Each structure stands twice: as C-alpha cells, then as structure tokens.
C-alpha cells in the first residue's frame, strides 16, 4: 500500500476565526500575514487586546 501523507487542515476562513492562538506557529504565521504585522506586533496586540481577532484588529488600527 503506498504511503499517503496527511495534509494538515487549512486554517478557517478569516471570517470564521474568533481568536488567535499564539501557541500555534501556523496560526501566528497566518495572522501576521493576514494583518500585515510582525510576530512581535501580533504578540503585543494580543497582550493588550486579548486573543479576539476583532479586538486585535481594533487595537492594531488604533495604534498604527
């Protein structure tokens, strides 16, 4: 039987996401690219605003 590599599930569509998981490298990479920020900026935003995507967007918008 041939070896079949499992493909990791894609992250949900942006509208479906409710929170950012900073412990998950794929999530961090996805959100830094999506929001156009560095990892440091993403971590800072989450420290101040929490993990809610909506709150992080609001924080980043008010601190740019």
Q: What is the DSSP secondary-structure string of the chain?
A: ----PPPPPPPPPGGG--B--TT-HHHHHHHHHHHT--HHHHHHHHHHH-SBHHHHHHHHHHT-
Q: Which two three-digit tokens encode residue 22?
A: 């900073």
The tens place of each residue's pLDDT in the chain, 64 residues long, gives 555 544 444 555 544 468 999 999 999 999 999 999 999 999 999 999 999 999 999 999 987 6
Please state whether the predicted TM-score (pTM) of the whole model is above 0.75.
no
Helix (H, G, I), strand (E, B) or coil at 26: helix
């Amino acid at each position: 039987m041939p070896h079949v590599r499992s493909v990791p599930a894609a992250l949900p569509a942006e509208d479906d996401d409710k929170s950012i998981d900073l412990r998950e490298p794929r999530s961090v990479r996805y959100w830094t690219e999506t929001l156009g920020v560095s990892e440091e900026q993403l971590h800072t935003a989450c420290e101040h605003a929490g993990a809610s995507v909506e709150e992080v967007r609001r924080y980043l918008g008010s601190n740019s």
